[in-house]
């Protein structure tokens, strides 16, 4: 590996990094930027596999608007890492991370609090445990400095999170190209396809007008949307319910952002408050659609668009919202066809810097045009604490593998970690929004199991078996140094 100019990391200041030479030899080196959940995990994974790691964290000299301490892996809001049940998406993801030797999950287990089926942690104890483990690791140096530019000529993991500092965000945008870095989530809810009542909803694409004539989609073109028709009474009752529903509050630092970004992407509750008919002329317009059961145009329509390659998930088009989550479930189930909807993601709008991963990253977390540059965490569009840890783990172990001349790995999409990374790197780039781990991301079993519980159990069993096979096939040593793949018995 060629010597590194550390000036590229730290603005224009030329500094000699104490981690650069060890015993007169420049070691294989990994730089991790951001000491949050993803960055701490990435640094640990790379170091455990023998890489010498410099972990850059800008706090406490420069704080984000949400962090309060100088600790690594600080939890900025809730102290819960979600379900610990083995057959739930987050429970499965945690079990996979345990199997892969995750530092953050081990610290969470060690600092857990009674919280029913969820894994809640003592907030301070958790980040203290991660901080101590990382700082005391003999191959990690923690450097408390803001990184202003993306490094070049060194294997690097960028994990600066939803509140990436402005200078670095600018540099990422320079590399990505304009329009490939977002600063605000405007997430519409996502439901599972099999929870939509197709006795009520119908498949159709809108036709449009050309020179005064309706142009219908060709008969042989598949209908892209699922449409939920509303009568006049149903529509106005729905609008009233949205207006009365409880809204989530934006944090102070997000209110300015909201003023800047919301106008282009108005939440349904803002539209409903502006005028009772605003939604019917906006995201719920029925133009170009006929309900095949009545042969007539409905008064209003809620459209759902396929959200994943397998067609298991659908997002509600134009329904970005800041209603409280319990209220979203209640109000959205008033929509005919969605009365039994199972939500895998609820709508939200908040400050969130994230790259267009489907355009820019491969499933190994490597930048598409620069193999030595990896990204991880919420910056890549994995939503939530555990998804961020998962991305950090994958990027960290791949960073180490690159320095050792081993091929980077991607986990199979039948595992939860693989499915999440597959989603963020293969979703539709034009409408890409962050995604939480959910069982809907896993490919269909191809077996006719009608019982939901049994189906979930089968998905989980397949995920864990495929993870074992992947560990074996790629010679991964969970939590330790990798070796070239041995012959596998699988």
Ligand X SMILES: Cc1cc2nc3c(=O)[nH]c(=O)nc-3n(C[C@H](O)[C@H](O)[C@H](O)COP(=O)(O)OP(=O)(O)OC[C@H]3O[C@@H](n4cnc5c(N)ncnc54)[C@H](O)[C@@H]3O)c2cc1C
Among the candidate windows 102-110, 236-244, 272-280, 379-387, which touches ligand X by CB under 6 A? Answer: 379-387
CB of 196 to ligand X, least distance (A): 27
State the DSSP code for 6.
Answer: G
Long-range contacts of 210-216 (CB under 8 A, 24+ apart): 214/288
Q: Is 361 among the residues that bind ligand X (CB under 6 A)? A: no
Complex with ligand X: residue 109 or 457, whichever CB lies closer: 109
> Quick one: 126 exposed, middle or buried, by C-beta within 10 A (0-12, 13-18, 19+)?
buried
Q: Is 388 among the residues that bind ligand X (CB under 6 A)? A: yes
CB of 41 to ligand X, least distance (A): 8
Among the candidate windows 15-23, 53-61, 124-132, 273-281, which touches ligand X by CB under 6 A? Answer: 53-61
Residues in 132-151 at the binding interface with ligand X, rule: CB under 6 A: 146-147
Report the run of H or E that residue 331 belongs to, with start and end. helix 325-332
User: What CA–CA distance (Å, rounded) separates 72 from 129?
Assistant: 9
Q: Which of 28, 35, 283, 358 binds ligand X (CB under 6 A)?
A: 35
Q: Give the contacts of 391 (CB within 8 A, at least 6 positions apart).
A: 38, 159, 365, 375, 376, 377, 380, 382, 420, 421
**Among the listed residues 75, 344, 36, the one whose alpha carbon sits nearest the alpha carbon of residue 189:** 344
Q: What is the pattern of x (binds ligand X, CB under 6 A) and - over residues 72-111?
A: ----xxx---------------------------------
Report the run of H or E that residue 141 belongs to, with start and end. strand 140-143
Q: Is 127 among the residues that bind ligand X (CB under 6 A)? A: no
CB of 392 to ligand X, least distance (A): 6
Among the candidate windows 71-79, 264-272, 402-410, 418-426, which touches ligand X by CB under 6 A? Answer: 71-79
Start-to-end C-alpha separation, the chain: 36
CB of 225 to ligand X, least distance (A): 30
CB of 259 to ligand X, least distance (A): 17
Complex with ligand X: residue 122 or 336, whichever CB lies closer: 122
Unique residue bearing structure tokens 């977002």: 182
DSSP E strands, 216-365: 225-230, 300-306, 313-316, 343-345, 348-355
Report the run of H or E that residue 286 belongs to, with start and end. none
Residues in 398-457 at the binding interface with ligand X, rule: CB under 6 A: none
Q: Is 345 among the residues that bind ligand X (CB under 6 A)? A: no
CB of 20 to ligand X, least distance (A): 18
User: What CA–CA distance (Å, rounded) separates 142 from 135?
Assistant: 6
Residues in 160-199 at the binding interface with ligand X, rule: CB under 6 A: 160-165, 168
Q: Which of 9, 19, 32, 37 binds ligand X (CB under 6 A)?
A: 37
User: What CA–CA distance (Å, rounded) separates 342 from 456?
Assistant: 14
Q: Which of 10, 49, 52, 59 binds ligand X (CB under 6 A)?
A: 59
CB of 57 to ligand X, least distance (A): 5
Give the pair of three-digit tokens for residue 319: 């329904």
User: Could you tell me how many residues make up the chain?
Assistant: 490
Residues in 248-307 at the binding interface with ligand X, rule: CB under 6 A: 251
| Angle, CA 420 vertex, CA 131 and CA 51 arms, to 5° | 40
Among the candidate windows 1-9, 57-65, 104-112, 447-455, which touches ligand X by CB under 6 A? Answer: 57-65
Footprint of ligand X (CB under 6 A): 33-39, 56-59, 64, 66-67, 76-78, 146-147, 159-165, 168, 251, 377-379, 384-385, 388
């Amino acid at each position: 590996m060629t010597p590194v100019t550390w000036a590229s990391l730290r603005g224009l200041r030329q500094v000699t990094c104490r981690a650069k030479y060890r015993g007169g030899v420049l070691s294989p080196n990994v730089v991790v930027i951001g000491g949050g959940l993803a960055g701490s995990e990435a640094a640990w994974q790379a170091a455990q596999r023998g890489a010498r790691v410099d972990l850059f964290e800008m706090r406490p000299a420069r704080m984000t608007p949400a962090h309060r301490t100088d600790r690594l892996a600080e939890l900025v809001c809730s102290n819960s890492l979600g379900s610990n049940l083995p057959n739930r998406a987050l429970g499965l993801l945690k079990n996979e991370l345990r199997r892969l030797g995750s530092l953050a999950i081990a610290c969470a287990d060690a600092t857990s609090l009674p919280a029913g089926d969820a894994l809640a942690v003592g907030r301070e104890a958790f980040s203290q445990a991660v901080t101590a483990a990382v700082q005391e690791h003999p191959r990690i140096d923690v450097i408390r400095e803001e990184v202003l530019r993306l490094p070049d000529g060194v294997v690097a993991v960028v994990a600066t999170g939803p509140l990436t500092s402005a200078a670095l965000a600018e540099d990422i945008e320079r590399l990505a190209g304009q329009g490939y870095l977002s600063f605000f989530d405007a997430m519409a809810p996502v439901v599972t396809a099999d929870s939509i009542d197709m006795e009520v909803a119908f498949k159709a694409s809108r036709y449009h007008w050309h020179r005064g004539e309706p142009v219908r989609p060709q008969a042989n073109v598949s209908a892209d949307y699922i449409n939920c028709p509303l009568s006049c009474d149903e529509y106005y009752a729905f609008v009233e319910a949205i207006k009365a529903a409880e809204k989530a509050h934006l944090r102070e630092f997000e209110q300015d952002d909201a003023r800047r970004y919301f106008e282009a992407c108005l939440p349904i509750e803002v539209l409903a408050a502006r005028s009772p008919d605003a939604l019917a002329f906006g995201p719920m317009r029925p133009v170009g659609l006929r309900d095949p059961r009545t042969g007539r145009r409905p008064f209003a329509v809620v459209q759902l668009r396929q959200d994943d390659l397998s067609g298991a998930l659908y997002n509600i088009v134009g329904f970005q919202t800041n209603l409280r989550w319990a209220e979203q479930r209640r109000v959205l189930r008033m929509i005919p066809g969605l009365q039994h909807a199972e939500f895998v993601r609820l709508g939200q709008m908040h400050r969130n810097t994230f790259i267009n991963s489907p355009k820019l990253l491969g499933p190994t977390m490597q930048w598409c045009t620069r193999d030595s540059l990896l990204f991880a965490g919420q910056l890549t569009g994995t939503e939530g604490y555990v998804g961020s840890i998962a991305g950090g783990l994958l990027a960290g172990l791949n960073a180490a593998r690159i320095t050792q001349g081993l091929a980077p790995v991607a986990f199979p999409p039948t595992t939860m970690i693989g499915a999440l990374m597959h989603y963020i790197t293969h979703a539709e780039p034009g409408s890409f929004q962050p995604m939480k781990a959910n069982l809907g991301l896993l490919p269909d079993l191809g077996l006719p199991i009608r019982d939901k519980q049994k189906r979930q159990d089968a998905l989980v069993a397949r995920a864990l078996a495929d993870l074992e096979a992947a560990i074996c096939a790629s010679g991964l040593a969970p939590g330790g140094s990798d070796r070239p793949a041995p012959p596998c018995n699988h």
